[in-house]
Structure 1
Amino acid sequence: MSAEATNPGAHSRRRGRPRIDLRRIGRAALMGPTARDRLPDAIGHVAEAHRAHHPDADLANLRKAYVLAESSHRGQFRKSGEPYITHPLAVTLILAELGAETTTLTASLLHDTVEDTEVTLDQVRTEFGAEVCYLVDGVTKLEKVDYGAAAEPETFRKMLVATGNDVRVMSIKLADRLHNMRTLGVMRPEKQARIARVTRDVLIPLAERLGVQALKTELEDLVFAILHPEEYERTRALIADNATAGDALAATAEDFRVVLRDAGIAAEVLIRPRHFVSVHRSRLKRGEMRGTDFGRLLVLVGEDADCYGVLGELHTCFTPVISEFKDFIAAPKFNLYQSLHTAVAGPDGAVAEVLIRTHQMHKVAEAGVIALGNPYVPLEPAEGMEPADGERADPTRPGWLSRLLEWQQSTPDPDTFWTSLRADLAQDREITVYRADGGMLGLPAGASCVDAAYAQYGEEAHACIGARVNGRLATLSTVLSDGDTVHLLLAQDAASGPSPDWLDQARTPAARIAISSWLQSHPEGAKIPAAAPRRAAPVTADRRAAANAVVDLPDATVRLAGCCTPVPPDAVTGFAVRGGAVTVHREECPAVARMRALDREPIGVSWGDAAECRVTLIAESFGRPRLLADLTEAIATEGAAIVSATVEPPSEQRVRHTYTLQLPDAAGLPALMRAMRDVPGVYDVSRTQHPAATA
């Protein structure tokens, strides 16, 4: 596939960004360095784009970086036949057009020198300083000779860790991948497809999360052309056949200008053509495309308040499509994006989508974190105060990145890391939930209480037994919504662990990795889920509890019946079940009478010396605030550990709590039950006696 076929560059030209003649840059590069007081011709475009965003920028370091890059890459060529220096120049130009500051551009010019030439990191640090050195090191690939098949995932791990300290590392990597994708046509088709898949699964989601829409949209189109060539060609033809589609939007745009001018609102109204993937998605969603479906109207104003003024005027003078309204100014997206979205319908029923934002919002919408400049400048001191030494501001360390950096530490295996990274990045929206202690947790949309537990407590969440969401008891499988308040309940039994069911309820890699790790190291120790919706499942005693039963059947496995949960010194009897095991019941258990009626032969059972036991208790109570907290406090005071707990929905102001508890000494059971009955609102506490199947 040719470079032209894999490069849907028309949308870039529609946005007004001229394509740069890399061959001309290459020829200028080959001319070598110029006099020390002149900027080399080859980086004239970079300097021009940079000065457009930073008029007072000092270009001395750019000149020095270019001279080093050109001399070190001299004699190297890309597969396309162009001098290699054209690649770092193109990457740097992409970043300059997006408004990157000088340090980023300097590192961008040098980003391949350590990897592909004799230049060392120490040399970069000596000549350009620690920040530039850090950025260059962050994007330098790990050698396949050292890492083999793990080189790619481990390189991305290294870059993500570096991005956690300085987000500019990923900015350079995204621009690097964009230029490589633009020139991918010289590669073999199978290599094009492999690179495109990694771009789709990793780089595009990262561009989205960092808010760099200008890079994200072009990467999407390039990937689309490679992985779905037939759909891409169909979309290209559709756009070509509707070359005059912009006329419909142009008429609406002029109507907007008149309305806003009459209202005294200074605004710029532009037409934003949709990129290839956006047109493709619209076609799938809407079927037949109208002229207004090939683009959107962008209204740019000076102040935040003007955005709402524009919205009011448009909704007053045109027919709004209310279902299309979204306010991302009051509630910005997790990737810094801010804008008002709306749509208006024309007399013929054609709908025009509208974006309303300030010029600064537009800059951030296009360039994301790149538009914020250097995020590590010293904090502005408060009036009358001096800043702390070395204190830096970091507005670009979002919650998703912090979570990613945390869970990757638990995945030394490259394959597991690579799979988990792609799964994490597939989550396309983030929510914020509030902790009971006043803190906040950032989680992906669709996250459950299980995810919240591991986000807040790490491996201590293994002991989680339930949650309160917005003040109401909830199962751990409950899916959280943006703005929820979650209070997580932990058992005091340090030996308790997660249920295998939690893997189906967890969305975050951090939770899934922690749960899987515990289950692998405790193959026999997974607890029965505490998240049953109405009552606790029958609890089978673990080996410690079973070690308290002495039976008249040699080598038999002993199980304590979940229907009556016997504990010392209960009078007990046993019955043989399939597999040679013996199930032990309390003598008064209804199951014993049923089995005797069936002429099942009882087996003699007695208690041994061990006193530790597990028991299930039911607390009947009147509903009131803090009842659950008071009951769990009473249980903890008596030295019992909660293994699982469920609460049935209130009925006629009455609530039933079911607890499975581990007691260090069975003799303490009566005192525990008295303590629970003494809790205000509790009118009865009993041993569980729910029906059991015939053993």
Structure 2
Amino acid sequence: MSKIALAKRWKTRLSELLEALGKAVPDHASRFSALSRVLESYLDEAAVADIYQATLYGADAHKGQKRLSGEAYIHHPIAVAQILGEMRMDSRTIIAAILHDVVEDTGITLEQIGARFGDDVAVLVDGVSKVSQLESRKHAEAESFRKMFMAMAKDIRVIIIKLADRLHNMHTLDSLDDVRKRRIARQTLEIYAPIANRLGMRELSQKLEDLSLINLYPKRYRAIEKKVKAAKRSRKPVVNQACENIRDKLALNGLTAEVYGREKNIFSIYRKMRQKRLSLKEVKDINAIRIITEKRPHCYQALGVIHQLYKPRPESFKDYIAIPKINGYQSLHTVVVGPYGQPVEVQIRSQSMHRAAEQGVASHWLYKTETTGEHAPQQLAQQWLNSFLESQHMSSDSGDYLEHLKADLFPDEVYVFTPKGDIKRLPRGATALDFAYSVHSGVGDHCIGALINQAAVPLHEKLSNGDHVEVKTSRQARPIPQWLDYAVTSKARASIRHYLRQQKGRESLRLGRKLLRGALSNQGYRKVRIPSADKANLLEHLGLDGWERLLIDIGFGKRLPTLVAKQLIAESAAQQQHRPQNQPQNQPQNQFVANDQKQPILTIEGTERLLITYASCCHPIPGDNIIGTTTSGRGLVVHQSNCKNCKVIMRQPDNYFHLSWSAATKGNFQVVLDVETQNEPGVLATISNIIAEHNSNINNLTVEQELRHTANMRFIIEVANRKHLAAILRQLHAEPSVIKLTRG
């Protein structure tokens, strides 16, 4: 029988599907019939026949499986297909939606799906399927999103299916316990709803937001819902009158447009209350008026007519047509003083803009004549995906990936201009540093400052709409950990972390080599170079695949250099014992000597920024006698030799080292000064000025009034070395208001 003939018998063969679904379910017929009515309204008979076959296949695969609600499992994929059918998605997407859980929950393989329904359907199903063979839920979640985004970049329909799947799941959360319900709702609110919004699918995004809110905070949701219903009744005369006046005025000016009132969704009201710290009574713009014109030029004509009819509020006009939002949203927004002196928000857009605003990337399938210009949602979505994936290929950490994803889904944005006049869209709160990385990762890595509107600003300066931004760079500049404190965009944060990881790896390699050589020397190992055979045997014993990996672990503090040295010496001795007597000796027999010398001293140069930590208990500075101990993740921790914690450290001789400062040590080092002063006006300014005169920064200050006439001050300042500190102390001692001065 042909596909078309099979499609014509669609409704007459429902009994076959009902048997697969299970007769105990009372609403199966109506659900399936509803899907068939939607599909038959826009798909040809052959496509409907393919979907029919996929539905039977899925029903058979899921036969006997039930959801927690008790209904047959196949009802869920049918419901997802229904949502996609209402978006008028193509038949291949509908088939993939019906089969989207088959691989994950049954014994069917992707190869079987590809052979039966085509490789394109198998790719879509694979993109939607989760990564579940991982122990950590957080890691599995991150890897599932990573996999999904990779598939999205190849075919955007993957995320459209996933969003429809999540929408139906959100409608059926009642069968779950409160913990799972809240976890799913929070994930939806933090990731899926913003993804839908980022793809321009405003209608679906708002549904997900409201469903998340009612499951997270049901009382708040119902309170706002009640307020919206009351406002609708009270504001109805105002909105209706304004709509009628606008229609008449537009008609007088020869403009044809659809004019109607609309309500904001519950979550958008809740978000506004939180962001602006408003009570329910203080939220006034619950209702708005939407005007849909035939073409783009008519939008501006309609705006002029409305501003003639009602006075606009200053600073309330936004032109998202000339400068679309980052997801392709285009509309004119204005707030006018409407009937009875009530403020009314008005949104004006063309018919094509309205379709794109509501359906986003899905409008490509919903309206086949949809334009594909530079601001079309599908083009912008593809650009975003490519940019996001490009920045994330450097991120290997699951936590980083989810953090970057959430940052990139930031709903609000600012629009700034490059020196050439191009527009850059960045998340609200973005800084000059984010702008630098948006230009190019190489620009970001070497930036030292910026000009905003021709004024010099630091990299942490936040950007505002309309700013003209120019980045200043230097070849010597490099990312530092502090940049992560004010970088907002995922691209900037991923690039900075990638550089720091590489730099930390290089520093830990150098430090690990230095620590191991010192430990070997202390054990009496006198070889200038460690033989390759000894290295290979030790790596095999430790289960590592490279010598550099071992040195990096030592530098990071993951392995004790003294223990590694002992293992290496033991491996070398074992090799020597098993060497045949007549084999030539490449090395002198006297490889190890008695360790009657002092432990070798490692030199600190002050340039090891990431793998050396200066202990906050004693704040060592160049010139102090120092020792060090390795700590996992922190590398080498440096203490003063007379630090109170040294007694504990020295109880573990395998894990502490005698250190010295290089004569070429450079940098700024923190030191604590405790100053007892007379409690009199101007004393703090006097001490601060003395410190500043010596080119020292004050990083922290606490003041306590000990007695009526005295005060205790604790300064944390930066110095280059003991000589620099001594100069400051001498001048402070000479100050009459200083009673007592000690180094903390």
- TM-score if structure 2 supplies the norm length? 0.59
Closer, same or farther: CA 401–186 of 1 in aligned 2, 3 Å: same
Closer, same or farther: CA 516–305 of 1 in aligned 2, 3 Å: closer
**Which residue of the partner structure matches residue 268 of structure 1?**
258
**Which residue of the partner structure matches residue 306 of structure 1?**
298
In 2, the alpha carbon distance for the partners of 1:503 and 1:397 equals 27
**Which residue of the partner structure matches residue 539 of structure 2?**
none
Instruction: Give 1:308 shift.
Output: 1.7
427, 431, 434: which one aligns with 1:444: 427
**2:624 alignment partner, SS class:** helix
**Is 1:477 aligned with 2:483?**
no
Closer, same or farther: CA 435–130 of 1 in aligned 2, 3 Å: farther
**1:119 alignment partner, SS class:** coil
Contact 1:164 1:397 in 2 (8 A): no
**Which residue of the partner structure matches residue 732 of structure 2?**
none
**1:395 alignment partner, SS class:** helix
Contact 1:337 1:364 in 2 (8 A): yes
**Which residue of the partner structure matches residue 332 of structure 2?**
340
In 2, the alpha carbon distance for the partners of 1:524 and 1:59 equals 57
Closer, same or farther: CA 309–461 of 1 in aligned 2, 3 Å: closer
1:360-404 CA distance string (max 9 Å, x none): 211111111111229999x99xxxxxxxxxxxx961445443332
Instruction: Give 1:194 shift.
Output: 0.7
Amino acid at match of 2:111: D
**Is 1:500 aligned with 2:476?**
no
**Which residue of the partner structure matches residue 201 of structure 1?**
190
**Which residue of the partner structure matches residue 408 of structure 1?**
392
Instruction: Give 1:471 shift.
Output: 6.8
In 2, the alpha carbon distance for the partners of 1:259 and 1:479 equals 43
Contact 1:375 1:394 in 2 (8 A): no
**2:254 alignment partner, SS class:** coil
**2:430 alignment partner, SS class:** coil
224, 229, 232: which one aligns with 2:213: 224
Closer, same or farther: CA 520–409 of 1 in aligned 2, 3 Å: closer
228, 241, 251: which one aligns with 1:251: 241
**Is 1:88 aligned with 2:77?**
yes
Closer, same or farther: CA 376–157 of 1 in aligned 2, 3 Å: farther
Structure with greater contact order relative to length (CA < 8 Å, sep ≥ 6): 1
Amino acid at match of 1:511: A
Matches within 5 A, 1:369-384: 369-373=361-365
**Which residue of the partner structure matches residue 115 of structure 1?**
104
Instruction: Give 1:522 shift.
Output: 4.3
In 1, the alpha carbon distance for the partners of 2:412 and 2:15 equals 43
Query: Which stretch of structure 1 is more off in the superposition, 111-120 or 139-148?
Result: 139-148
In 1, the alpha carbon distance for the partners of 2:20 and 2:226 equals 44
| Unpaired segments ≥5 residues, structure 1 | 1-25, 34-39, 381-392, 527-553, 561-575, 582-606, 616-691
Instruction: Give 1:430 shift.
Output: 5.8
Closer, same or farther: CA 56–340 of 1 in aligned 2, 3 Å: farther
Contact 1:232 1:276 in 2 (8 A): yes
Closer, same or farther: CA 281–255 of 1 in aligned 2, 3 Å: farther
159, 171, 175: which one aligns with 2:160: 171
1:604-624 CA distance string (max 9 Å, x none): xxx99x9xx999xxxxxxxxx
**Which residue of the partner structure matches residue 597 of structure 2?**
none
**2:261 alignment partner, SS class:** strand
Query: Which stretch of structure 1 is more off in the superposition, 397-406 or 227-236?
Result: 397-406
In 2, the alpha carbon distance for the partners of 1:269 and 1:182 equals 31
Contact 2:333 2:347 in 1 (8 A): yes
Tell me the percent identity: 34
Instruction: Give 1:453 shift.
Output: 3.9
**2:481 alignment partner, SS class:** coil
Instruction: Give 1:175 shift.
Output: 1.1
**1:341 alignment partner, SS class:** strand
In 2, the alpha carbon distance for the partners of 1:433 and 1:49 equals 46
In 1, the alpha carbon distance for the partners of 2:269 and 2:602 equals 70
Instruction: Give 1:108 shift.
Output: 1.5
| Unpaired segments ≥5 residues, structure 2 | 1-13, 22-28, 508-600, 608-620, 627-661, 668-723, 729-744
Contact 1:249 1:292 in 2 (8 A): no
Amino acid at match of 2:492: A
Instruction: Give 1:28 shift.
Output: 9.3
Instruction: Give 1:501 shift.
Output: 2.9
Closer, same or farther: CA 483–41 of 1 in aligned 2, 3 Å: same
**1:300 alignment partner, SS class:** strand
In 2, the alpha carbon distance for the partners of 1:168 and 1:93 equals 15
Closer, same or farther: CA 123–352 of 1 in aligned 2, 3 Å: same
**2:113 alignment partner, SS class:** helix
**2:379 alignment partner, SS class:** coil
4, 18, 32: which one aligns with 1:30: 18
Instruction: Give 1:62 shift.
Output: 2.3
In 1, the alpha carbon distance for the partners of 2:15 and 2:182 equals 31
**2:200 alignment partner, SS class:** coil
In 1, the alpha carbon distance for the partners of 2:404 and 2:157 equals 23
Amino acid at match of 2:162: K
In 1, the alpha carbon distance for the partners of 2:495 and 2:143 equals 21
Contact 1:450 1:477 in 2 (8 A): yes
1:22-59 CA distance string (max 9 Å, x none): xxxx99952459xxxxxx98544335445656689943
Contact 2:227 2:280 in 1 (8 A): no
Matches within 5 A, 1:92-103: 92-103=81-92
Closer, same or farther: CA 93–467 of 1 in aligned 2, 3 Å: same
In 2, the alpha carbon distance for the partners of 1:439 and 1:477 equals 22
Contact 1:497 1:525 in 2 (8 A): no
Matches within 5 A, 1:315-354: 315-354=307-346
In 2, the alpha carbon distance for the partners of 1:577 and 1:78 equals 67
1:214-236 CA distance string (max 9 Å, x none): 11111111111121122112123
**Is 1:355 aligned with 2:344?**
no
1:487-541 CA distance string (max 9 Å, x none): 5555445xx6323332223222333343345445546999xxxxxxxxxxxxxxx
Closer, same or farther: CA 274–461 of 1 in aligned 2, 3 Å: closer
Q: When the two structures are aligned, how many residues end up with a matched partner?
A: 505
Amino acid at match of 1:412: S
Instruction: Give 1:179 shift.
Output: 0.7
**1:355 alignment partner, SS class:** strand
Instruction: Give 1:335 shift.
Output: 0.7
**Which residue of the partner structure matches residue 401 of structure 2?**
417
Closer, same or farther: CA 182–491 of 1 in aligned 2, 3 Å: same
Contact 1:100 1:371 in 2 (8 A): no
In 2, the alpha carbon distance for the partners of 1:211 and 1:267 equals 23
Closer, same or farther: CA 577–275 of 1 in aligned 2, 3 Å: closer
In 2, the alpha carbon distance for the partners of 1:263 and 1:375 equals 30
Closer, same or farther: CA 477–282 of 1 in aligned 2, 3 Å: closer
In 1, the alpha carbon distance for the partners of 2:502 and 2:381 equals 34
Contact 1:124 1:133 in 2 (8 A): yes
Contact 1:459 1:514 in 2 (8 A): no
Instruction: Give 1:467 shift.
Output: 4.8
**Which residue of the partner structure matches residue 383 of structure 1?**
none
Amino acid at match of 2:34: H
Higher helix proportion: 2
Q: Which has the larger radius of gyration?
A: 2
Give RMSD over aligned pairs: 4.2
